[in-house]
Structure 1
């Protein structure tokens, strides 16, 4: 039987792991590993773990028909590979919390898409959601200061990640109509890993780099880069995915999506406490306004969306 309190706990737990992963990924990027290679490591590692688990417990679920291949390839490339890479580019140039605020505007884009393109009926609150999100982003960017300290390339990357994330959700609604969320996510990671294997081939990459010590801003503590990458794969992708997927057994997708909006808040707190990424008062206020807009956008659709898995983009 559904247990809502457990669903809330699982969703917040997933958001917490994704939030910590933002700072861990920032440290890995600062250590010198390029965003495409970090994305390739995360996608490839998650694909190997998910394939191994499914092969051991339910190998029949891994079967793929020839007709599914183009869809799974597009879903993996746009929804997973590009979303994650653009997110890594964004957090390399912006505070983690601000990058997530821009990326999490995806539900607003979804509501506009289904209204303009699919001609679905949406509630009037979509306009309030759009207005709040745009107003909040103006505050986050501090446009009266010419953008403040925000890097233009980082903002473009974060908005690009929002578009790709919206695509992930829209394609995921279609994909889960014929395939369960676990194998859909597994094959999307496989497609993303193969994409980066071609676009960012491994042979120029020196594996010795993974043994490099990385200061982790906790006193004088240093960890090898491979330990950070291992965290990003296991606790930054596979574990939060399983938590968010399990939550969907106890909560409707819209509720889970609303609870998941705590991720930018948690990410900002983690980055502030860990690497001293301090946001201005206007940016904090703007982030709060955007989150209210996201909450309205999540409930703007009159048709209930399918239960798609949480993206491992953050």
Structure 2
């Protein structure tokens, strides 16, 4: 937002960003870096994913405003699919096509890719870009919840605290800065500081 939209970061945005990152760290590590078993490639792929995530939230905003999120996302997925196919020839892979594998593949394509990207970009049209970008920090929370439900993975209290921090940061960032609650406490803080200066 600072680079492409020339917006200055507010204290609220910086605070929420730090809280969300802290929450992600707790969810990923479980409160102990001994559990942080990630390869160098995995670590940098994650950083790259975050950066590209910020790009696809911010860069297409003017284009989406002109043509709509559905058309923009459709073209993006089509061009990306064609580009990837030039380097990765999926038809050379030995695949056992059964009814179940076709259904699983269709589910990943339709819901895990097309619907997910389309809904995300549609949401980015109606909510602030910083909130939309911060929503990506839900990924580790969702992965943890789904692992608990389908894989029987247990979580500790640190991971629960991390999930709560992420949810809290996104919710707080989504509250407009002109919300009466924030105005009341910002005035209260300013009066407190001015009183301190007088003393």
Pick closer, same or farther for the CA change 1:187–1:246 going to 2, 3 Å: closer
1:269 lines up with 2:154 in the alignment: no
1:286 lines up with 2:162 in the alignment: yes
> Structure 2 residue aligned with 1:122, among 9, 13, 38?
9
Which structure 1 residue ranges, 5 or more long, are not aligned? 1-113, 212-222, 303-314
Pair member with larger Rg: 2
Q: Is contact 1:122–1:301 with CA below 8 Å preserved after alignment?
A: no
Rounded Cα–Cα distance in structure 1 between residues aligned with 2:24 and 2:135: 20
Rounded Cα–Cα distance in structure 1 between residues aligned with 2:177 and 2:136: 18
> Structure 2 residue aligned with 1:233, among 94, 100, 109?
109
TM-score, normalised via structure 1 length: 0.45
3-state DSSP class of the match of 1:134? helix
3-state DSSP class of the match of 1:119? coil
Rounded Cα–Cα distance in structure 2 between residues aligned with 1:172 and 1:184: 8
Q: Which residue of 1 aligns with 2:70?
A: 182
Rounded Cα–Cα distance in structure 2 between residues aligned with 1:301 and 1:169: 21
> Structure 1 residue aligned with 2:81, among 185, 193, 200?
193
3-state DSSP class of the match of 2:154? coil
Rounded Cα–Cα distance in structure 1 between residues aligned with 2:85 and 2:159: 37
Pick closer, same or farther for the CA change 1:174–1:247 going to 2, 3 Å: closer
Which structure 2 residue ranges, 5 or more long, are not aligned? 179-199
Rounded Cα–Cα distance in structure 2 between residues aligned with 1:261 and 1:130: 10
TM-score, normalised via structure 2 length: 0.67
Rounded Cα–Cα distance in structure 1 between residues aligned with 2:127 and 2:66: 18
3-state DSSP class of the match of 1:176? helix
Pick closer, same or farther for the CA change 1:241–1:126 going to 2, 3 Å: closer
C-alpha deviation, 1:263, in angstroms: 6.2
Pick closer, same or farther for the CA change 1:299–1:156 going to 2, 3 Å: farther
Rounded Cα–Cα distance in structure 2 between residues aligned with 1:123 and 1:133: 15
Q: Which residue of 1 aligns with 2:20?
A: 133
Q: Is contact 1:128–1:296 with CA below 8 Å preserved after alignment?
A: no
Pick closer, same or farther for the CA change 1:243–1:121 going to 2, 3 Å: closer
Considering fraction of residues, name the structure with more helix. Answer: 2
